[in-house]
Amino acid sequence: MRKITAKIAAGVLALMMAVSTVPESINAFAGENVVNEFGKAGGEAFLAGNGAAQTEVTPGTYSVAVKLQKSGTDMEAEDYFSDAYTSMAGSCINGPAVLVVHKDGTATATLNLTSVSMGPITAWASEWVIAQDKTYTESKAVRVDEVTEEGNPSKISFKIPDISANGVYVSMNTGGNHANKAIFAIDWKNIQKTSDDTSDSSNVEGEDNEVSLQDGVYKISGQMLKVDKESLSMSNGAIDHDMKLTVKDGKKMLTMNFKGLTVAGQLGYLDQLKYFQTGYTLDQYGNPQGMLSDVTVNTYQKNEDGTLVSDSFGTSYPAEITFELIPEAEKDGYVPLQMVVPVMEAISAGTGTQTVFLKLDWTSLKEWVELPDVPEKPAQPVVTVKTPAVPQTVKAVSAAYSKVKISWKIVSGATGYEVYQYNSKTKKYSKVATVKGTSYTKTGLTTGNSYTFKVRAYTTKSGKTAYGSYSKAVSAKPALAKVTGVKVKNSSSKAAKVTWKKVSGASGYEIVRATKSNGKFKKVKTITKGSTVTYTNKKLIKKKKYYYKVRAYRKVGKKKVYSSYSSKVKVTIKK
């Protein structure tokens, strides 16, 4: 059987520091040069620590406590391991380190990591770098041995540098835009030997390592990254992270499996997948440029009854694909891909075509093991939920001084409806109600302010729910009701008494008067209490006609928001 050679790049996370808190001279580890510069070479024992903590550690495997201390900790002091110096990110270390002292006098440390909670924020430390000393004049990236499903490093390994203190100077990123400095303090005094094993699973240096692969089938893990080669792509949620690598006669073919992903509450799929041929380049923004080739689609997404998945965005979505691995991916682990996400294109035109990098973790490579056939379960009834139509004739009107009523026509087959309100601060819509009927009244609103709403229908069947598209946006302002029940009479000598019905939510009223039916009305009185519903206008002229109208107002902050005027009423002064 013919053997081929593949370069296995150590680590799955690229070192991409955003600002100069760590010097730009960060380089990858360089094989034997690392031992000469950093390792305690020249004898079988590893000379660890200094001062009271200094000890010679013979070849073998050890367990030793490690703390993440603040960058300013005095590593020459006797209390360097005190909790008083622990970094805010100190809780990221998950248990003691495994230390392997090799026969050449060098030592390798492996640490398990976990997330860090800092107040309400939970983050992972990533982009770990090991420095020779606190000047950070020369720094090396760690090897990432394991990552979480989200791509966060959960296990790292590194060679212990040749330093004179009791710890290792490091930097990492905890979610900001710059590297944070700290120190791995090592409790050399209490190190415990666990075995005589001096081997390590693989080289911890950042160099490419030659590995011979026989023809066969292998499993390798990977993630979808944005073009910055650091952030997870939305498409990462649509792939099976365990992939099949088939090697035959020197040719490598990668097989990937896909599933649906949810975008803005809607189920969608990846489509029209292509890969960039060898020789591609990057533009100034990191986007790959070059010739594209179609992948081979082996199977398509299907429903439980065996029919092809179809939705309002399209059909024949890939479920399994295969394509030839380009040589560049064997060196750096990056495979540039292009795809279309139809659901994204439907939401926002021009955003459906996506370019990403598939990042392969060569350290995860192992022989593919086919699982035994499992007897099929009895076929279950196929449940198909039809997507409901868009609600039509959607209206929004004032229902009171603090309410807006939204209504729409019934959608055939809909189980219910969701009502969404626009938030001018976040610039987004959020759900405010789920109803079964064809109207909803939003309460607790401010008189005179404009509010915007959308509605969508949904259908639920046998535990499955399908959502329709959103309706057009409609807006309305809560308003005071028009003053009604207005009456006027010549109640006493040269006086007219005006009465009306109380308006809910009113802070007061304004009464205007005219001396002609079509004449100009002028304000004659402002009532400052919403409970007052009468006003007597005095010193009028006998035998003259007067016309009156009333409107309510509500105070909103320092402003008054008015209702419309009432119908006019007339009185002739006879007394």
Give the CATH number for residue 493: 2.60.40.10
Residue 381 covered by a domain? no
Low-confidence ranges of the chain (pLDDT < 70): 1-47, 49-53, 118-120, 132, 136-141, 149-151, 162-165, 175-179, 199-213, 369-382
User: Which tokens go with 332?
Assistant: 């750096």
The per-residue pLDDT for 263 is 79
For residues 320, 326, 327, 330, the Cα torsion angle rounded to the nearest 10 degrees is -30
Residue 247 covered by a domain? yes
Residue 500 covered by a domain? yes
Shared-domain flag, residues 61 and 184: yes
The per-residue pLDDT for 87 is 86
Shared-domain flag, residues 444 and 464: yes
| CA dist., res. 356 & res. 566, Å (int) | 64
Shared-domain flag, residues 34 and 176: yes
Shared-domain flag, residues 180 and 236: no
Residues in the chain, total: 575
- Interstrand relation of 474-476 and 451-461 (parallel, antiparallel or unpaired): antiparallel
CA 298 to chain centre: 31
Global confidence as pTM: 0.38
68-82 pLDDT, tens per residue? 889 888 888 888 888
Beta carbons within 10 angstroms of residue 435's beta carbon? 14
Last residue of a domain, one of 415, 450, 476: 476
Angle (CA) 492-493-498 rounded to 5° is 45
Shared-domain flag, residues 436 and 508: no
| CA dist., res. 85 & res. 78, Å (int) | 12
The per-residue pLDDT for 452 is 96
Shared-domain flag, residues 442 and 500: no
Shared-domain flag, residues 453 and 543: no
- Interstrand relation of 60-64 and 55-57 (parallel, antiparallel or unpaired): unpaired
- 154 residue type, one letter: S
| CA dist., res. 27 & res. 24, Å (int) | 9
Shared-domain flag, residues 198 and 55: yes
The per-residue pLDDT for 32 is 28
The per-residue pLDDT for 229 is 82
Last residue of a domain, one of 173, 190, 208: 208
Shared-domain flag, residues 163 and 26: yes
Residue 45 covered by a domain? yes
The per-residue pLDDT for 46 is 67
Residue 336 covered by a domain? yes
CA 374 to chain centre: 37
The per-residue pLDDT for 176 is 55
The per-residue pLDDT for 374 is 56
Number of domains in the chain: 4
The per-residue pLDDT for 34 is 29
CATH number of 75's domain: 2.60.40.1850
| Phi-psi map region of 95: left, alpha, beta (phi>0 left; psi -120 to 50 alpha) | left
Residue 148 covered by a domain? yes
Shared-domain flag, residues 97 and 203: yes
| CA dist., res. 161 & res. 37, Å (int) | 8
Residue 386 covered by a domain? no
Beta bridge partner(s), residue 297: 321
Residue 404 covered by a domain? yes
Last residue of a domain, one of 188, 208, 228: 208
Question: What range defines the domain where residue 311 resides?
Answer: 215-367
Half-sphere exposure of 332 (CA within 13 A, CB side): 11
Beta carbons within 10 angstroms of residue 226's beta carbon? 17
Shared-domain flag, residues 326 and 437: no
| CA dist., res. 224 & res. 247, Å (int) | 22
| Side-by-side strand order, sheet with 251-257 | 292-294, 271-276, 334-340, 353-367, 216-225, 242-248, 251-257, 318-324, 296-300
Shared-domain flag, residues 35 and 170: yes
| CA dist., res. 27 & res. 115, Å (int) | 27
Place of tokens 């607790």: 444
User: Which tokens go with 432?
Assistant: 């405010």
